[in-house]
Amino acid sequence: MSAACLACDDHDLDAGGLLVIDLAAIEANYRHLVGLAAPAHVAGVVKADAYGLGAVAVTERLVAAGCRHFFVAELSEALELRPLLPEGAVIAVLNGLAPGANAAAADAGIVPVANSLTQLRAWAALAAERCTRLSTILQVDSGMSRLGLSPAEVDELAASPELLRSLDLLFIMSHLACADEPLHPANRAQLAAFIAAKAKLGIERASFANSAGIFLGKDYHFDLCRPGASVYGLGVGPAAYGIRPVVRLEARISQLRTIPPSASVGYGYTFTADREMRLATLSIGYADGWPRALGQIGAAWVDGVRLPFTGRISMDSCTIDVGALPHGRLRPGSLVELLGPHQSADDIARLTGTIGYEILTRLGRRYCRRYVG
């Protein structure tokens, strides 16, 4: 655990907020997914700093839980995490490698996802130059039109199989676009396209399902599943079950004040008191990833009591109406719940027209982070 975490406790908090990340819940979620996916293996997707929760701490915990496959988006993320992994573990770069990054990746033992024939040829050329068999994962586009070989490229590759034979091909993979809608026809269509590409290329081992894909059932599991969101406690559609919440976010009160009737609050004076009101100012704002759109519609929670935001969320602060609490319950330095038992990242996402993934990945870097469990 880092010194920054040891230095912070509830009574002596100089950050604007406390972000508590429950590693035991992360491990429990991972093990639940392992149980659902067996006999397929389950990777940990730890891109974007493990969805904002801290890739180092999360990766160490998943390694301890037996995870041996990791996915990140970029080479820099893989380079940071590679030293934490045991011998034989795989860390793969989903976005593939930029031209010129191949040598550095190979030196560090990092596995690129080849998303085009150009990337695959460049990796094979490096392997030939070094007289070694380099590992790769080949991505095919099964319908999402984002990353991976097009059907035409799959045909081209099928016609020149020596390219594949020169590499250690760990998996063929593809990615689902609509798995959080279990009845969406794209799921079956993508599955059929993936199976067809796999057969055409004669590749045995395959990886297809993200979190929501795991809940679609066995047909989608193949040899390696790639969940991120479910490991971090997010909801991924109506079929998901058995996932525990992982994060708690508490904001610190910097000031309390009583305002008279007709006083206004915050930028734009969008809120005006219709009575005497007791307000608390919180030391977090949209620069901490707390959505500005929650001004007027969102709330914080204390003792199970809802405390609505008054006026706009500022960059580094915001105000709540604490009139529903007894006098003296809150003081400067008290903490209020922003994410926790009374509202999840998914709840905040629904209120602000986005997804829980975006709420988590935008959580700011100024919070005091504490890992528990």
Ligand X SMILES: *Cc1c(COP(=O)(O)O)cnc(C)c1O
Whether 267 sits among the annotated catalytic residues: the reply is yes
Q: How far is it, in rounded angstroms, from Cα 170 to Cα 312? A: 51
Residue from 17, 54, 228, 285 in contact with ligand X (CB under 6 A) = 228
Residue 218 designated active-site: no
HEC readout, 214-264? HCCCHHHCCCEECCCCCCCCCCCCCCCCCCCCCEEEEEEEEEEEEECCCCE
- Least distance to ligand X from the beta carbon of 227, Å? 4
> Nearest distance from residue 136's CB to ligand X, in Å?
15
Residue from 61, 68, 226, 312 touching ligand X (CB under 6 A): that is 226
Segment lying near ligand X (by CB under 6 A), choices 54-62, 224-232, 293-301, 337-345: 224-232
Query: What is the per-residue DSSP string for 172-186?
Result: EE---SSTTSTT-HH
Contact segment (CB under 6 A) with ligand X among 222-230, 253-261, 293-301, 314-322 equals 222-230
Q: Which of 47, 286, 357, 367 is catalytic?
A: 47
Interaction of residue 317 with ligand X, rule CB under 6 A: no
172 is a contact residue toward ligand X (CB under 6 A): no
Q: Could you tell me the CA-to-CA distances from 343 to 43, 192, 266, 336, 350 in Å, in that order? A: 28, 38, 24, 12, 11
Binding string, 249-268, against ligand X, x = CB under 6 A?
A: --------------------
Considering the rule CB under 6 A, would residue 227 count as an interface residue with ligand X? yes
Nearer residue to ligand X within complex by CB, 13 or 173? 173
Contacts with ligand X: how many residues (CB under 6 A)? Answer: 13
By CB under 6 A, name the one of 210, 281, 283, 361 that touches ligand X: 210
Contacts of 250 (CB under 8 A, 6+ apart): 17, 18, 20, 335, 336, 337, 338, 340
Contacts of 174 (CB under 8 A, 6+ apart): 139, 140, 141, 142, 144, 148, 190, 193, 194, 197, 208
Quick check: 36 binds ligand X (CB under 6 A)? no
CB of 236 to ligand X, least distance (A): 6
- Which token pair is 229? 């969101």
Shortest approach of ligand X to residue 243 CB, angstroms? 11
Q: Which DSSP string do the residues of 7-55 spell out, in sequence order?
A: H--TTS--SSEEEEEEHHHHHHHHHHHHHHHTTSEE-EE-HHHHHTT-H
Report the catalytic residues: 47, 267
In the complex, the residues that contact ligand X under the rule CB under 6 A are: 45, 47, 94, 175, 210-212, 226-230, 236
